[in-house]
Amino acid sequence: MTENLVEVEGLSRSFGEKLALDNLNFEAKPGHVYGLVGTNGAGKTTLIKHLLGLYRSNSGSVRIFGLDPAKKPALVLGRIGYLSEDRELPDWMSIEELMRFSQAYHPNWDNAYANELLDTFNLDVSKKIKDLSKGMRAQAGLIAAVAHRPDLLILDEPSSGLDVVVREDILNTIIRTVSDDGRTVIFSSHLLEEVERMSDYITIIHAGRKQLEGSVEELRESFRHSSIKFSEQLDMAPILSDTLSVEGHGRFWQTIHSGSVEKLSESVRRLNGEVLDSRNATLQEIFLAGVNRDRSKLEAA
């Protein structure tokens, strides 16, 4: 069995009275892209900061390459590339100085690869970081994160706020980094279409808890979107088997469900209804259904 690069077990973290992570488990094996999906405040960035050793857990454990990143930062961070949504780069440096600065910390720095990416992005190395546009700043930060060929690349909302062209350049660079080198990537984003395109495995986090997890194919095949028609008007949502969500009004309803269409049809027939059509649910539909379900549970508590 392939050893995990990342192992998070029972991780909990509170900030005052706010529970940011609640008994979270997560793992990542070499050579795959892992997408973290969740709304703002779901816990994605808090998890990433634990992976980088910036936070210590209130309970549970975090291991990267078998080490605790909070206790062995030098041994762990030297093998990680990181790009945050804030693109935290030293404003006083030029791009050229940023490349030299980053190279000094990474013995495996691939200068030819860095120069190739600088040419691809058409970046002027003499420009100061403070004078870069948001897109150029993200491109420079990505080069600094990937040019040392890290074993683990962590990206926290890497394309947030960027235009379509720059976002595509960044995503293509990440894809190439993974396909050429077989690196492991943890990719956090609220852009579901982006995560679905990039990731091999997806973890959906809501309110600090892991809501759903699996490969993109597993999630697509495990949940279906079905349309239902009843013989009479319904004043409230019908109770059906294996449903993640049920929405609609009157005689016409739609559901995201995990069971087979046949099992759903049996449940619907008992209420004098029929399934009109059914298809695989999209990642966005699965995510929204799960979030709405959790909100309903919290409101009922």
**Which three-class secondary structure string do you get for the chain?**
CCCCCEEEEEEEEEECCEEEEEEEEEEECCCCEEEEECCCCCCHHHHHHHHCCCCCCCEEEEEECCECCCCCHHHHHCCEEEECCCCCCCCCCEHHHHHHHHHHHCCCCCHHHHHHHHHHCCCCCCCEHHHCCHHHHHHHHHHHHHCCCCCEEEEECCCCCCCHHHHHHHHHHHHHHHHHHCCEEEEEECCHHHHHHHCCEEEEEECCEEEEEEEHHHHHHHCEEEEEEEEEEECCCCCCCCEEEEEEEEEEEEEEECCCHHHHHHHHHCCCEEEEEEEECCHHHHHHHHHHHHHHHHHHC
Residues 186 and 243 in one domain: no
Q: Are residues 153 and 275 in the same domain?
A: no
CA dist 220 → 107, 189, 224, 283 (Å):
41, 19, 8, 7
* Structural domains in the chain (count): 2
Domain boundary among 218, 239, 268: 218
For the sheet containing 224-234, what is the strand order? 243-257, 224-234, 273-280
Same domain for 235 and 157, yes or no, is: no
Domain shared by 229 and 210, yes or no: no
pLDDT at 176: 73
pTM for this model (two decimals): 0.86
Residues 198 and 170 in one domain: yes
- For 137-148, what is each residue's pLDDT tens digit? 999 999 999 999
8 Å CB contact between 35 and 204: no
Lookup: tokens for 166:
């720059």
Based on its alpha-carbon atoms, the radius of gyration of the chain, rounded to whole angstroms, reads: 22
Nearest to 144 by CA among 188, 89, 186: 89
Residues 104 and 231 in one domain: no
Residues 184 and 266 in one domain: no
Please report the pLDDT score of residue 179 as a whole number.
64
Q: What's the rounded Cα separation, in Å, for the pair 182 and 176?
A: 9
Of the candidates 225, 224, 223, 226, the one whose C-alpha atom is nearest the C-alpha of residue 275 is 226
Q: Is residue 116 part of a domain?
A: yes
Mean pLDDT over each residue of the chain, to the nearest integer = 88
Residue 297 lies in a domain: no
Q: Which of 203, 218, 233 is the last residue of a domain?
A: 218
Q: By residue range, what is the domain housing residue 171?
A: 6-218
Does 196 share its domain with 242? no
Q: Is residue 253 a part of any domain in this protein?
A: yes
Residue 292 lies in a domain: no
Q: Is 296 a member of any domain?
A: no
Q: How crowded is residue 282: how many other Cβ atoms within 10 Å of its Cβ?
A: 17
Interval 206-261: pLDDT, tens: 889 998 899 988 888 889 999 999 999 999 999 998 888 999 999 999 999 988 89
Residues 203, 246: one domain?
Answer: no
34 and 150 in a common domain: yes
Distance CA(130)–CA(98), nearest Å, equals 12
31 and 131 both lie in a single domain = yes
Instruction: Indicate whether 205 belongs to any domain.
Output: yes
* 282, 273 contact by CB (below 8 A): no
Amino acid at 154: I
Is 290 part of any domain?
no
User: Which CATH number characterizes residue 120's domain?
Assistant: 3.40.50.300
Give the residue from 202, 218, 234 where a domain finishes.
Answer: 218
The pair of structure tokens assigned to 186 is: 């943890």
On whether residue 1 sits in a domain, the answer given is no
The token duo for 158 is 């890497």
Same domain membership, residue 139 and residue 31: yes
* Sites in the chain below the pLDDT cut of 50: 1, 298-301
